[in-house]
Amino acid sequence: MYIIRSMRQWTRVGAALVLLALIAACRLPFGREYEYEEQLYLNVDGSASVIVDASIAALVALRGLPLDASLGARIDPVQIRTLFESMGCRVLRVGQPWSRHGRRFVQVRVAADHVSRLDACGPLGWSRYTFDRKDESIRFDQKVSSASGTAPPNVNWTGQELVAFRLHLPSKILKHNVRRLGDNTTGEIERGNILTWEQRLTDRRAGVPLDMEVTIDPQSILYRTLWLFAGSFVAAVLVLLALIWWTMRKGRAMRMRQAGSGTIT
């Protein structure tokens, strides 16, 4: 009976711990919340795509887009696509709008054949992109200038909202300036080849400078992985062939010994 009671107690403790973990995860299931976020996916050939996740209010205040930021306003993805395309963007996708903290949000994905041409897309035009490829490295730099809009009325911002610029890099990072940022901007390294710069929305609206610099390996991680996989496959085949050869050689030698001793008729 004592053992059964102990097992029940440990079961309750385990269930409580799992519940606490689920509650903690539900509080922030997708990581930090950003009022405006640009995620740039860079390739070693210079091509790139950018995912913009932002509140309508932030798009109005930071980029001056002619949108209705009120919660009751209807947000039409087709309208968003048309607006971005009219501002020189090559739009790949516009997601369904959602709401958070009483504000409407939207996601737009755009692309360019070369990252240096992203500034031709009006909503991304506050950045200047430099892509310098050499034999031994690729240097990328993004300088973000001041905001160009005016905050819409009656936005329930608290002053704690964050803006993020995230680089998804295709190869090993050799050098970066994340750790050399000032008091108004913070940086973070995620999973080896993702860099994130953060600012408060108030600082971004005030035009606090943001300069992102990174130097990466010119050979992509995917390319290295494919070569590693191919090398491993070839090595496995060679080992298998060696085992087959050794087995056949051993069997032939055994038959020759048996023939020499007269055991085979």
Please give the angle made by the CA atoms of 136, 192 and 120, to the nearest 5 degrees: 70
Beta bridge partners of 143: 128, 211
Structure tokens at 246: 């050794």
Q: Say whether both 53 and 90 belong to one domain.
A: yes
Surface-to-core class of residue 78, CB atoms within 10 Å of its CB (0-12 exposed, 13-18 middle, 19+ buried): exposed
Report if residue 263 sits inside a domain. Answer: no
Q: Say whether both 147 and 158 belong to one domain.
A: yes
**What total of structural domains would you count in the chain?**
3
Report if residue 66 sits inside a domain. Answer: yes
Q: Say whether both 22 and 48 belong to one domain.
A: no
Query: What pLDDT sits at residue 72?
Result: 84
Query: What pLDDT sits at residue 112?
Result: 98
Report if residue 265 sits inside a domain. Answer: no
Q: Say whether both 188 and 149 belong to one domain.
A: yes
Q: Say whether both 127 and 246 belong to one domain.
A: no
Nearest Cα neighbor of 101 from 34, 26, 39, 165 is: 34
Report if residue 264 sits inside a domain. Answer: no
Report if residue 194 sits inside a domain. Answer: yes
Q: Say whether both 21 and 114 belong to one domain.
A: no
Query: What pLDDT sits at residue 249?
Result: 72
Report if residue 246 sits inside a domain. Answer: yes
Q: Say whether both 196 and 99 belong to one domain.
A: yes
Rg (CA), the chain: 29
Q: Say whether both 22 and 76 belong to one domain.
A: no
Report how far residue 197's alpha carbon sits from residue 176's, in angstroms, rounded to the nearest whole number. 11
Q: Say whether both 95 and 61 belong to one domain.
A: yes
Q: Say whether both 115 and 188 belong to one domain.
A: yes
Structure tokens at 240: 């298998």
Structure tokens at 216: 């990466």
Across 102-133, b (16+ Cβ under 10 Å) vs e yields ebbbbbbbbbbeebebbbebbbbbbbebebee
Structure tokens at 126: 């506050």
Q: Say whether both 204 and 237 belong to one domain.
A: no
Q: At residue 145, what are phi and psi to the nearest 5 degrees?
A: -90, -165
Query: What pLDDT sits at residue 16?
Result: 47
Query: What pLDDT sits at residue 23?
Result: 39
Report how far residue 82's alpha carbon sits from residue 225's, in angstroms, rounded to the nearest whole number. 39
* Three-class SS state of 47: coil
Query: What pLDDT sits at residue 4?
Result: 47
Report how far residue 265's alpha carbon sits from residue 259's, in angstroms, rounded to the nearest whole number. 8
pLDDT means over runs of 10, the chain (265 residues)? 50 46 42 94 97 98 96 92 98 96 96 98 98 95 95 94 96 84 62 88 95 92 44 58 71 71 57
Query: What pLDDT sits at residue 185?
Result: 65
**Domain around 21:** 1-30
Query: What pLDDT sits at residue 86?
Result: 98
Report if residue 111 sits inside a domain. Answer: yes
Query: Could you tell me the pTM of the whole model?
Result: 0.72
Q: Say whether both 179 and 211 belong to one domain.
A: yes
Report the Cα 238 to chain-centroid distance in Å: 38
* Three-class SS state of 231: helix
Report if residue 262 sits inside a domain. Answer: no
